[in-house]
Amino acid sequence: MKFTLDLNSSAQENAARYYDEGKRMKEKVEGTERAIEETKKELDKFEAVVEKKPRVKRKAQWYEKFHWFVSSEGFLVIGGRDSGQNELLYSKYFEDADMFMHADVHGAPFVIVKNGSGAPEKTLEEAAQFAASYSSAWKDGAGAVDVYAAGKEQVSKHSHGEYVPKGGFVIKGDRKWFKNIELKMYIGVTESGIECTPARCGKERFISYFEIKPGGVGKGDLSKKLFQLLSEKLCEKGIVEEDITRALPQGRGELVVG
């Protein structure tokens, strides 16, 4: 350490000057340390308030209890998660202007395109991929399946005067067919939260997303992987792993890489 001495001052005066300067420096350091401690205390208070503040969760729309998506042309499409929801869709939400969609396999959801009787072809193709991907064909590992559409007046719960069992429906008249529809979905984070949409719908809605298809990874493991990959965006939205599991099709799947 170097010291500069004033040759015009005595040794005692030089010593006194350095003593006073050292005292000022000590007071300055102590003041800085006090400011740091006060800042730490304020930060601790702020963090405590943030932790105690309840997370504000977006109010769910009525259709979010079902599988759902909004087509690229703005049509709401809804599908039942089980036979009970299929019945509910038929009895409560299926209206004259809607279009019914169904994969041509045993174990497919009751899908309706709201106001779909006037929907363009593109929306119906997206709804067909949605109906195919949430059917048992996904669980069976199928790559594609046929899907048909019918109007409200063609769908009935009665066959030859007899009531069709729960989850079953009778289609009258000609159907509109969508052949060899590929099973492929996008899942990710949107402004609404977690969404799983048919790949034909596009990716514009997503903040962050991944493409999935039928595969060899168990649904639970796939859900965990997606949660890890999307964790940063999910935390911002208050989304938990269970939300991803609920959105995924039934059965094994895999991420599409590249």
**Segment 36-78, tens digit of pLDDT:** 677 666 656 545 544 544 445 668 899 999 999 999 999 999 9
The reply to whether 3 falls in a domain is: no
**81 and 17 within one domain:** no
The reply to whether 175 falls in a domain is: yes
Overall average pLDDT of the 174-181 stretch: 97
pLDDT on residue 49: 44
Domain that holds residue 32: 9-52
**188 and 95 within one domain:** yes
**67 and 48 within one domain:** no
Residue 18 has pLDDT above 60, yes or no: no
**203 and 142 within one domain:** yes
Selection from 192, 200, 250 nearest residue 222 by Cα? 250
pLDDT band at 5 (very low <50, low <70, confident <90, very high): low
The reply to whether 245 falls in a domain is: yes
**229 and 129 within one domain:** yes
CA distance 59 to 55: 12
As for how many domains the chain has, the answer is: 2
Q: Indicate the range of 18-27, 130-139, 161-170 predicted with least confidence.
A: 18-27
State the virtual CA torsion across 50, 51, 53, 57 in degrees, nearest 10: 110
The reply to whether 57 falls in a domain is: no
> Which three-class secondary structure state does DSSP give residue 179?
strand
